[in-house]
Amino acid sequence: MKRTTAFLSATLIATGLASGPVMAASQSQGSAAQSQGQTQAQQNFSDQQLQNFASASQEIAGISQTYTKRLQNADGSDQQQNIRQEANDKMVQAVKDNGLKVDEFNQIGQAVQNNPQMMQKVQKMAQQQQ
């Protein structure tokens, strides 16, 4: 059974889309390798997918900011773990609420990181939403 988790991606911070977007991934090594192969194969995302990615990234930034503050004030590792899991769940839900699957969001995120033109396009979409 795959367990979907999310973690903050420092690489996407540089896109200017958000202060702490999420990259969600499966913990399975096989899925990670499969996801990489899919990312390289699928570089042609629709404008709607890119728009959904921009929207999800902005929501995730807000979640990240909120939960980063809570983590800083947490007492002990158990409380920190609970806060991380709650943030994780909310980030995954933000991706789904914006019409994307977690692996699709990851694929777009990786493509954006590797393609300056796509990055600029997504940044423009995000700016138009504000």
Please count the structural domains in the chain: 1
Residue 29, pLDDT > 70, answer: no
As to burial, measured by CB atoms within 10 angstroms (0-12 exposed, 13-18 middle, 19+ buried), residue 96 is middle
Q: What percent of the chain has pLDDT over 90?
A: 47
**Domain that residue 92 falls in:** 4-129
Asked if residue 13 lies in contact with residue 21, where contact means CB atoms within 8 angstroms, the answer is yes
- How does pLDDT run across 59-102, given as a tens digit for each residue? 999 999 999 989 899 899 999 999 999 998 999 999 999 999 99
Which tokens in the block code for residue 109? 């995120």
**pTM greater than 0.75:** no
Q: What percent of the chain has pLDDT over 70?
A: 67
* pLDDT tier at 8, thresholds 50, 70, 90: very low
- Distance in angstroms (rounded) separating the CA atoms of residues 55 and 47: 12
**Phi, psi for 25 (deg, rounded to 5):** -150, 155
Please tell me the number of Cα atoms within 13 Å of 52 on its side-chain side. Answer: 19
